[in-house]
């Protein structure tokens, strides 16, 4: 059986990390230490582009005109 | 349905964030103040939620009035950031001035409200700056994603002129060339199976 993601626990963990980071003053952006492989980078870009195209094709992200969008979440 | 009830029904972090910004926008409208989503939250919007930002970054012309409204909504100031313990939302107002063209701000309709977001071209320039000057590979990746996903809709003349002014034109041209040369990898665009 597929295990369901526990968003509540995950959210609490994420918040604990965020609070610890704020306490430590770690508010600046961190660079990755290892550069991505160019093929990995290309694949990640294509995956994200496909995600955007899917949201638009399904009408969840609708462009009404040049500067107006409508987002449907359900 | 009350705002609290609607928020509880939100099924994704982006939905929750947009509902909160929409509520803040509604509350600030009578004061003539318009909060504008910038930074990672704007990438989250234009990437249809594929990018996940830890907090909401807003540019608001009158920080003082926005802070007062945030506190009315239940946000607590923690240093530079505001946190809502009940909604588990973190928000930051990094600036009072938009680093971009006000004419290019995008209006996003969500439910019966609206959220205003930095223009796509200005957001790409922002990521491009972080890529070039902070050597942030991740920002470079998201600049590429947005350039590729919206290739036919972007005002490339504006993008190139602004990139020239910010000395990021070479990086922009390299990215555009890479996108043009990219070999399709045959990604399946269907929904992943549950």
Q: How far is B48 from chain A (nearest CA, A)?
A: 6
| A63 DSSP β-pair partners | A69
- Predicted confidence (pLDDT) per residue in B22-58, tens digit: 999 999 999 999 999 999 999 999 999 999 888 999 9
Supply the pLDDT for residue A20: 77
Interface residue of B50, B137, B150, B190 to substitute, partner A, most A CBs within 10 Å: B50
Report the residue from A45, A54, A74 with minimal CB separation from B144: A45
Q: Stretch B125-146: mean pLDDT, rounded?
A: 93
The enclosing H or E element of B115 equals strand B113-117
Kindly state the percentage of chain B with pLDDT values over 90.
Answer: 78
Nearest Cα neighbor of B151 from B182, B130, B126 is B182
Q: Are B63 and B18 in contact (CB under 8 A)?
A: no
Is the minimum CB–CB distance between A67 and chain B shorter than 8 Å?
yes
How close A37 comes to chain B (CA, Å)?
11
Q: Is it the case that residue B111 has pLDDT exceeding 60?
A: yes
With CB atoms and an 8 Å threshold, state whether A50 touches B109: no
Mean pLDDT of B152-181: 93
Q: What is the ipTM of this complex?
A: 0.88
**A60: Cα separation from own chain's centroid:** 16
Q: What is the pTM of this model?
A: 0.83
Helices and strands (H, E) in chain B, number of each type = 8, 7
Cβ atoms of B116 and B37 closer than 8 Å: yes
Q: Which helix (H) or strand (E) holds B102?
A: none
Does position B81 have pLDDT exceeding 60, yes or no? yes
């Amino acid at each position: 059986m597929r295990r369901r993601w526990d968003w509540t626990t995950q959210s609490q963990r994420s918040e604990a990390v965020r609070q610890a980071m704020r306490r430590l003053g770690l508010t600046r952006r961190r660079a990755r230490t290892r550069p991505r492989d160019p093929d990995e980078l290309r694949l990640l870009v294509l995956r994200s582009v496909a995600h955007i195209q899917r949201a638009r094709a399904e009408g969840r992200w609708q462009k009404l005109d040049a500067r107006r969008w409508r987002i449907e979440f359900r | 349905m009350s705002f609290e009830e609607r928020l509880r029904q939100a099924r994704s972090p982006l939905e929750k964030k947009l509902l909160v910004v929409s509520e803040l926008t509604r509350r600030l409208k009578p004061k003539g103040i318009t909060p504008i989503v910038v930074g990672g939250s704007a990438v989250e919007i234009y990437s249809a939620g594929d990018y996940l930002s830890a907090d909401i970054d807003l540019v608001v012309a009158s920080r003082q009035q926005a802070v007062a409204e945030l506190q009315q909504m239940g946000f607590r100031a923690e240093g530079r950031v505001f946190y809502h313990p009940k909604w588990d939302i973190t928000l930051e107002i990094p600036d009072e001035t938009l680093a971009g063209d006000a004419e290019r701000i995008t209006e996003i309709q969500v439910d019966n409200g609206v959220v205003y977001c930095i223009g796509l071209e200005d957001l790409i320039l922002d990521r491009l700056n972080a890529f070039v000057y902070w050597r942030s590979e991740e920002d470079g990746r998201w600049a590429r994603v947005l350039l590729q996903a919206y290739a036919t809709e972007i005002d490339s003349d504006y993008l190139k002129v602004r990139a020239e002014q910010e000395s990021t034109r070479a990086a922009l041209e390299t990215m555009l060339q890479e996108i043009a040369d990219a070999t399709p990898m045959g990604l399946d665009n269907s929904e992943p199976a549950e």
